Every structure is written in C-alpha cells, then in structure tokens.
Amino acid sequence: MTATRILVVSTTALALLGAGATNAGAAVGPQETLRPPEKAPVTFAGTGKKRGEALRGRERVISREVTLVGGESVEFWIRCPRRITHAGLGVREGERGIEFEVVRPLDYPGKHRVRVRGTGRVAEGREATAKMFALCR
C-alpha cells in the first residue's frame, strides 16, 4: 500500500469516527404498532382521525421514540405494514424538545415508508425525548 493510500484510508476512518461522535447521544427506538380497537394517541391532520378515536379495520398507528441532545439530529424510517400505506404523521401536543421533518418522499401519503429527521431543539447538552406517530391505512 502506498503512503497516499494509507493517508486516504486513515483520513476516511477519522472522518467516520468524528461523524459518529456528533450523534453519540442520539437514540431511535424500535417501531411500535397500535391495532384496532386501540385508540389513536394523537390527531393526524388531514386524515379525519382524531386523538382518542378507536382504530378500525386495517388502520395501524406506528410510532418511534427518539432521544436527542440539543443540536443533534438523526434520520430514521417509519414503515407501514404490508398492503397498507401512510395517511398522515403526528406528534403529541406539547412535545417541543425535538422537531420532526419529512426527508423523503415529501409526498409520503400513499407510500409504504417515509424517512424522517429529528433535531434536538433544547439547550446544548440537554436531552429531549419525543415520539413520532404515523397513521397507516
């Protein structure tokens, strides 16, 4: 191996190690699924499904819990079960420590999965936890 290749490999390894360190406190929990006759934990705007209403038929609510330190961000997928697709996304009222945004596809309703980015919106070094919910039909 030439000196140039060794330098490139070493630099790449250091860059990867450094990138991992910025998200050292980030944690995304496993997907959890609610099924009928359980109730919707949040209101899903534009779907007609309100918080507290029972799920019916093929409706499912998928959730992922995210924990971040202020200034960190993390991306993750929310996938609907087979043969049903996303209808809407939601978060609990009052959970302001993490801001969620859709990364792709932006036109996620009707798609099987959606990639979401969570960003910590608390003071540097402070930790926040929030859940992202998806209504699948």
Return the domain boundaries, the chain: 25-136
* 57 backbone dihedrals φ, ψ, rounded to 5°: 55, -120
Q: Which of 20, 19, 22 is nearest to 69 (CA)?
A: 22
Q: What is residue 23's predicted lDDT score, i.e. its pLDDT?
A: 57
Render each residue's pLDDT in the chain as its tens digit; 137 residues. 444 333 333 333 333 333 333 456 789 999 999 999 999 999 999 999 999 999 999 999 999 999 999 889 999 999 999 999 999 999 998 778 999 999 999 999 999 999 999 999 998 889 999 999 999 99
